[in-house]
Amino acid sequence: MNNMLISKLVMDDICKNESDVYQVAFYNIHNFEIEKKICLNIETNNCNKFRINDLNWLKDQEPLFLPDVLIIRPDEVLTVEEQELLKNLNIKVRYVNENILTNDKIFEEKINEIERTIYKSKTLKYFKIEKDLINSIEVKYSNDIKNNEQLTNKLIQELLKLIKDKDDVTYQHVRNVSSYVDLFVDGMPDKAKLNPEQINFLKKAALVHDIGKLTIPNQILRKKEGLDDNEYHDMKKHVSENAYLFNNKLMNDFKDVALCHHERYDGKGYPKGLKGEQIPYYARIISVIDAFEAMTGKREYVKKQRQRSLEEVLNILKENAGTQFDPEIVDYFINGIMKNPEFQESLTEEKGGILKCI
């Protein structure tokens, strides 16, 4: 720790582990103007900067304490061992010098490069955390819990903690979607009813259907205005970027729901453009419930806007039945809502703003 020139205030910020705090480390650079200009111009809510004089310090740090990008001078020569260390830790190296202070074009290009690097590094960091989490759950509990279902339940609990730590709105969203499965089941005719095992599965799938949002920057997740094209493109990555998370025996069954809940019945959805019954049945169910919750759930950080009535929201579902949604599923879900006046009343009392379902 002696090799780090870092204030207690900055270290406290780093230790908060806020997912929208980007960590930029300056290696053997002591030009305050360079540091200040880079960190002030990176488009993020928080940019922690700290200096490192010895790369060996990185070896013992937890993943979330590591820098997302290492800024070094062009004349700095890294040893083979240092290059390998940075590679293993998924820390990207970017070179800067005093020229960026006098050339606006060079500076803008460098900032864009650093921002792209930070986003990719942050994504890889979460990938590693989640992968390590899966492995640790399997190892830690496999001797005490013989049943794979119990292991899966434990893993889902831990993943929900990650989601809650990153963004409470996403956490509340997946919890609501899971609880609204009961409304859907209530609206199904007896001949089509899901059995208890299927209902239990669907509720669990709902809890992890948005796990990919762990890799989306909070300034996108929490943006008060509509997303621009680039931000919307990044947001859509939450469906596919964490596909690997489901490539294990504990989570594999939920993969179809996580990857296909933004497909559209008319084939115009993403990521694969599946159409009609090509879309897995459970994913079609979650698609409808997900949209309903997005239009009725509370979003504290969204600018105040006219709130639509429950009737308006249900009409939106009806209008999009056959295009965005499976019409039969829409009918079942609306029927379940209409059969539950207590739910209607609670929604009317607590309903938040309306959001585009993304």
Q: What does 59-91 look like in DSSP terms, one character per residue?
A: GGS-GGGS-SEEEE-TT----HHHHHHHHHTT-
278, amino acid identity: Q
Work out the average pLDDT over 279-302: 86
pLDDT of residue 161: 82
Given a cut of 90, whether residue 11 has pLDDT beyond it is: no
pLDDT of residue 2: 26
Q: Is 270 exposed, middle or buried (0-12, 13-18, 19+ CB in 10 A)?
A: middle
At 48 the three-state DSSP class reads strand
Work out the average pLDDT over 282-311: 79
Residue tagged 């090509």 (tokens): 278
- Which domains are present in the chain? 4-118 (3.40.50), 147-350 (1.10.3210.10)
Work out the average pLDDT over 178-193: 94
Given a cut of 50, whether residue 325 has pLDDT beyond it is: yes
Q: 168-179 and 196-208 helices cross at what angle (nearest 10)?
A: 170
Strand partners, 95: 72
Strand partners, 136: none
N-terminal to C-terminal alpha carbon distance within the chain: 43
Work out the average pLDDT over 86-115: 69
Indicate the average pLDDT of the chain. Answer: 76
pLDDT of residue 10: 30
At 23 the three-state DSSP class reads strand
Residues 137/154, Cβ–Cβ less than 8 Å: yes
Q: Quick count: other Cβ atoms within 10 Å of Cβ 222?
A: 16
Given a cut of 60, whether residue 281 has pLDDT beyond it is: yes
Given a cut of 80, whether residue 298 has pLDDT beyond it is: no
261 is written with which tokens? Answer: 């809940």
Residue 303: pLDDT band with limits 50, 70, 90: very low
Task: Report pTM.
Answer: 0.64
Q: Is 81 exposed, middle or buried (0-12, 13-18, 19+ CB in 10 A)?
A: exposed
pLDDT of residue 354: 35
Torsion of CA 94, 100, 105, 106, to 10 degrees: -30
pLDDT of residue 42: 60
Q: Which residues contact 351 (CB under 8 A, 6 or more apart)?
A: 296, 298, 307, 310
pLDDT of residue 244: 65
Residues 23/66, Cβ–Cβ less than 8 Å: yes
Which residue blocks in the chain are alpha helix, DSSP H?
8-14, 32-41, 80-88, 104-141, 148-166, 168-179, 181-186, 196-208, 218-221, 229-240, 255-260, 281-296, 310-319, 327-338, 341-350
Give 114-167 pLDDT, tens digit per residue.
Answer: 655 655 555 555 555 556 666 665 555 555 545 667 778 878 887 888 788 778
Distance of CA 268 to the CA centre of its chain: 23
pLDDT of residue 68: 77
Residues 104/52, Cβ–Cβ less than 8 Å: no
Distance of CA 155 to the CA centre of its chain: 17
pLDDT of residue 128: 59
Q: Which of 62-66, 265-269, 320-324 has the lowest mean pLDDT?
A: 62-66
Residues 22/118, Cβ–Cβ less than 8 Å: yes
Q: What is the 3-state secondary structure (H, E, C) of 252-314?
A: HHHHHHHHHCCCCCCCCCCCCCCCHHHCCHHHHHHHHHHHHHHHHCCCCCCCCCCCCCHHHHH
Residue 54: pLDDT band with limits 50, 70, 90: confident
Given a cut of 50, whether residue 7 has pLDDT beyond it is: no
Residues 297/352, Cβ–Cβ less than 8 Å: yes
